[in-house]
Structure 1
């Protein structure tokens, strides 16, 4: 298995662990400021990104703005786990070349743009994007006073570990 796929599956396994710990009410709770987004919104957003990657069209284009935004995934842990399992299965069966070029459409803040990526760079971006959203989820968990036993959750592997003196 390719190292990018293996790393991505490891990162996404944290989603499963999280979803198995939460209630539907916890998943959909959007009461934490300043953005008032729920854990479910972030999980759905993460999985939508991967879903876009697997929806390469006949022109070899991935549109990262064409997300499904399934509200059930945001509100029901079982639906989020089903979506996660679909993405994991697609990753496990992924057989495109990592060095293959793909056109990617995204909105960087000034409207949609088209860029050329490799599949490796697109999947690497998806993995980093996932970790970024885990950090936001960690903030929401803290605000909701929900304990989550994963010391690496939301931390990029390149972030130095610091020791807090108490």
Structure 2
């Protein structure tokens, strides 16, 4: 299996650890300032990004703005786990060459734009995007006084580790 896919799978499996430790009420709680977003909205957003990749059309094009936005994923841990499992299954069975080119549509803030990517670049972006949202989720967890059993959750692998001073 490709190292980019393995990295993405490793990162996404952290969502399972998180979801297994939450209730539906905690998943959908949007009380934490300043943005009042929920853990569920971030999980749904992460999974929608991957889902777009797997919805490549017959012209070898992917539209990252065409997200499904399943509201139930934001509200119910069981729906979020089911969606996560489907993305993990698709990633596990992914059979494209990481150097293959694809046309990606996204909105970078000034309207939709088309760009040529490789699958490797797109999956790398998806993995970094996931870690970025985990950092936001970590902030929400802190605001809700919840801790999970993963000290690396929300940290990029390149983030320097704090060492104790003796």
Same fold (TM over 0.5): yes
Q: Could you say which residue in structure 2 is the equivalent of 1:108?
A: 108
What's the secondary structure of 2:123's corresponding residue?
helix
| Rounded Cα–Cα distance in structure 2 between residues aligned with 1:111 and 1:64 | 12
Measured after TM superposition, the shift of residue 163 of structure 1 is 3.4
Q: Secondary structure at the match of 1:59?
A: coil
**Aligned residue in 2 for 1:27:** 27
Tell me which residue corresponds to 1:55: 55
Q: CA 1:43 to 1:164, structure 2 compared with 1: closer, same or farther past 3 Å?
A: farther
SS of residue paired to 1:5 = helix
What's the TM-score, normalizing by structure 2? 0.97
- Unpaired runs of 5+ residues, structure 1, are none
- Please give the secondary structure, in 1, of the residue aligned with 2:96: coil
* Match in the other structure for 1:88: 88
User: How many Å apart are 1:93 and its aligned residue?
Assistant: 0.6
CA–CA distance in structure 2, aligned partners of residues 162 and 114 of structure 1: 40
**Aligned residues: CA RMSD:** 0.9
Deviations 1:110-141 (A, max 9, x none): 00000000000000000000000000000000
Aligned length: 165
Q: State the partner residue of 2:66.
A: 66
Residue 139 of structure 2 is matched in structure 1 by 139
TM-score (norm 1): 0.97
Could you tell me which residue of structure 1 aligns to residue 17 of structure 2? 17
After superposition, the Cα gap between the structure-2 partners of 1:42 and 1:164, relative to the gap in structure 1 and judged at 3 Å, is farther
